Amino acid sequence: MTDQEITGIIGEAKKALQQMPEIDEARIAELRQAIANGSILLDVDTLAWDMLDFYRNRADKSD
């Protein structure tokens, strides 16, 4: 493999990583616990619609 090929592969990997969302594992654990103990009440209908909107917007941007 040439240096240029390696540089290209690394560049593609960087782009892919930049497009991935950052995940805060500690925050996720806090939210799971809050949901489990009832300190956060979820409106599942609103959540479902918001998720649909999010993924529709992502699909529109990728076209």
Question: In which band, very low, low, confident or very high, does the pLDDT at 1 lie, cut at 50, 70 and 90?
Answer: confident
Q: 44: which 2 tokens?
A: 């599942």
**Residue 30 in tokens:** 């806090």
Q: What is the pLDDT of residue 63?
A: 60
Q: What span, in angstroms and rounded, lies between the C-alpha atoms of 3 and 21?
A: 29
Predicted model pTM: 0.40
Give the other-Cβ count within 10 Å of 32's Cβ: 11
What's the gap between Cα 27 and its chain centre? 14
Q: Is the pLDDT of residue 6 over 80?
A: yes
11-39 pLDDT per residue, tens: 999 999 888 878 888 999 999 999 899 99
pLDDT at 38: 92
